[in-house]
Structure 1
Amino acid sequence: MPFSLHFSPTPLITAPSPLSKPFFLVPYYHTLHAPKSPLCSSMEHALTHQGKQEAFDRRPEDSQTLPLGLRRDAMPSHVAVIMDGNRRWARLRDLPVRSGYEAGVESLRKIVEICCKWGIKVLSVFAFSSDNWFRPKVEVEFLMSLFERGMQEDTGIFFRENIRISVIGDLTKLPKALQELMVNLEEATKNNTRFQLIVAVSYSGHYDVVQACQRLALKAKCGLIEPSDINVSLMEQELETNCTEFPHPDLLIRTSGEFRISNFMLWQLAYTELFFAQSLWPDFGEAEFLKALLAFQQRQRRYGNQLAQSIYFAVQSGKKLNVMSLELEVDRKRGSTLERPPT
């Protein structure tokens, strides 16, 4: 069924789902794994990319058409966006600030549609930062109502298009009705597999790392882990992006011509490619998105070292890797062959 941006408002989801207490006080625990061998996180990310890519379904229509020059085999799995410039867009047109935010919602709907059409699996958007609570009260109240209205209206699209919604951030600060709506929507769409939209609300990278550390400290206090058990893997299990199979964005786009990441996904962006667009967010459409993706596909992702780069390209090409093949792959990249003892 074609993706449509025009739809009738859908009633609020009624499936009950209890709200949790503040994140760091709730002793819910992931299954713990034994400490891993000291591989760098960049290598772990590259090695697991192949299996995670196969975890998602792809509709037949998703693979039919791509713009000229865009390669499906180099498409990012996870794109993150800092949606900046809504207020400036409104002021440049002598419009109220709320008009800029409403135009920004329409731009987001278009980008979600494009992601579904082009086969991108996850889109994370920075919708409301922890610092945005310091904006004028009337502006904050309007944004809360806009979140609620937008999610209610788009519920039909989420189900029809098999879209999963995840919300990350300190939801305890949101209005009660909005908290309930978000929790219910997450629960109702958790088995949708075509595409995942992650909305960061009342979020910051600092908050995410701190709440993960608090969770790990609580586990250590309860005797579930030893402090020496804490490693990159355990840390990432506690970050809010544990809701997705692709927790590390491949590409970050920031609009409005600003060159900073503004405390967004600080841990997760370690090896992310960055693209800074001049367009204000309401003006960011298919042409600008295509430009960002083409730039991404022209880059050579090294993940911090030669070996990790070799692993990444080998996995992308479908190779099954073992220790010997990893060494051979590195040698091939370096253009030399090392002598090896007989086995």
Structure 2
Amino acid sequence: MPESINGAVDQPLVPPRHIAIIMDGNGRWATKRGLPRTAGHKAGAETFRRIATYCKNIGVKYLTVYAFSTENWKRSEMEVSAIMALLKRYLLEAVDTMEKDHIRLHFFGDMTPIAPDLRALARETDEITEHLSKDDFQANVCLNYGGRDEILRAARRFATDCAAGKKRPEELDDALFSSYLDSAGIPDPELIIRPSGEQRLSNFLLWQCAYSEFYYTDTLWPDFDEAELDRAIAAYQQRDRRFGGVKK
């Protein structure tokens, strides 16, 4: 684990329990180098592997990444196919290494439009995850995900349970509604990171980010490295999180 903030020995770097990242800038990274956008996604996938390993090693418990949004289907068929091919390759590797590396894998999002072979691989990783310790590091991959869509799907599930007599509308509170979300049972992220210079949420974890701290950097995702993550954690560590209260 990094020993300090900016080398200061009196301030040890303590990572948050849950970090979420909007993996942005793959296309621009490729364009700057005269490469096809697909090359940027490939480089971004390697960055994800490296950062996930680093998060596990420094004691982060959950890493949630925005891999493919509900809006990303608007991109070219070639680009979408390339992203899905990269995801399939990652899942095939994960199936072989999850148990050995003690890495749990979970998906957020509506998997209905996803190709059957990818859905089958996702189910296989879910089954492996069920057999791993809940104390192990967990990566959450947001696939065909949108924050509004997640909230709508949760509301529909709750309404269905009410219609079936399993729940009553007056029972609904924050905790109960959270149990219907894709992130059920997972603590909200303390820190959300967005590379690439953009400063917006882009429909990411809208319910869960209520009290998250945000860190923006101009670094494009393929260039995002361990030192950049250290800077994000250091910035987070210096925030005064009051959750709506006042500073004492």
Matches within 5 A, 1:188-207: 188-190=128-130, 191-192=132-133, 193-207=135-149
Matches within 5 A, 1:155-174: 155-174=95-114
Partner SS, residue 143 of structure 2? strand
Q: Indicate the residue corresponding to 1:71 in structure 2.
A: 12
Which residue of 145, 159, 183 maps to 1:217?
159
Q: Aligned partners of 1:270, 1:209: CA distance in 2, in Å? A: 14
* CA deviation after TM superposition for structure 1 residue 304, in Å: 1.1
Which residue of 73, 85, 95 maps to 1:133?
73
Question: 2:95–2:124: 8 Å Cα contact kept in structure 1?
Answer: no
Question: 2:2–2:230: 8 Å Cα contact kept in structure 1?
Answer: no
* CA deviation after TM superposition for structure 1 residue 243, in Å: 4.7
Q: Indicate the residue corresponding to 2:214 in structure 1.
A: 274
* CA deviation after TM superposition for structure 1 residue 89, in Å: 0.3
Question: 1:78–1:249: 8 Å Cα contact kept in structure 2?
Answer: yes
Which residue of 146, 150, 156 maps to 1:208?
150
CA RMSD of aligned residues (A): 1.4
1:149 and 2:66 are equivalent in the alignment: no
Q: Indicate the residue corresponding to 1:85 in structure 2.
A: 25
Partner SS, residue 265 of structure 1? coil
- Say how many residue pairs are matched: 241
Q: Aligned partners of 1:87, 1:257: CA distance in 2, in Å? A: 13
Which residue of 223, 236, 242 maps to 1:296?
236
**Letter of the 1:95 counterpart:** L
1:110 and 2:50 are equivalent in the alignment: yes
**Letter of the 2:4 counterpart:** L
Question: 1:161–1:194: 8 Å Cα contact kept in structure 2?
Answer: no
TM-score for the superposition, normalised by structure 1: 0.68
* CA deviation after TM superposition for structure 1 residue 66, in Å: 2.5
Q: Aligned partners of 1:153, 1:117: CA distance in 2, in Å? A: 19
* CA deviation after TM superposition for structure 1 residue 270, in Å: 0.2
1:305 and 2:237 are equivalent in the alignment: no
**Letter of the 1:67 counterpart:** E
Q: Aligned partners of 1:160, 1:67: CA distance in 2, in Å? A: 28
1:256 and 2:196 are equivalent in the alignment: yes
Question: 1:166–1:243: 8 Å Cα contact kept in structure 2?
Answer: no
Partner SS, residue 159 of structure 1? helix
Percent identity between matched residues is 38
Partner SS, residue 173 of structure 1? coil
Which residue of 87, 95, 106 maps to 2:35?
95
Q: Aligned partners of 2:39, 2:229: CA distance in 1, in Å? A: 22
**Letter of the 2:24 counterpart:** D
Q: Aligned partners of 1:240, 1:146: CA distance in 2, in Å? A: 23
What's the CA shift string for 1:166-192, capped at 9, x where partnerless? 011000110000000001111112224
Q: Aligned partners of 2:34, 2:3: CA distance in 1, in Å? A: 35
Q: Aligned partners of 1:143, 1:67: CA distance in 2, in Å? A: 36
Question: 2:94–2:125: 8 Å Cα contact kept in structure 1?
Answer: no
Partner SS, residue 76 of structure 1? coil
Question: 2:19–2:190: 8 Å Cα contact kept in structure 1?
Answer: yes
**Letter of the 2:16 counterpart:** P
Question: 1:122–1:196: 8 Å Cα contact kept in structure 2?
Answer: yes
Question: 1:206–1:266: 8 Å Cα contact kept in structure 2?
Answer: yes
Residues 206, 228 of structure 1: alpha-carbon distance in 2 compared, 3 angstrom cutoff? same
Question: 1:252–1:273: 8 Å Cα contact kept in structure 2?
Answer: yes
* CA deviation after TM superposition for structure 1 residue 277, in Å: 1.1
Question: 1:79–1:123: 8 Å Cα contact kept in structure 2?
Answer: yes
* CA deviation after TM superposition for structure 1 residue 71, in Å: 3.0
1:240 and 2:176 are equivalent in the alignment: no
Partner SS, residue 172 of structure 1? coil
Partner SS, residue 242 of structure 1? coil
Q: Aligned partners of 2:56, 2:175: CA distance in 1, in Å? A: 29
* CA deviation after TM superposition for structure 1 residue 281, in Å: 0.2
- Gapped regions of structure 1 (runs ≥ 5): 1-64, 310-332, 334-343
Instruction: Judge which range, 153-162 or 249-258, deviates more.
Output: 153-162
Greater strand proportion: 2
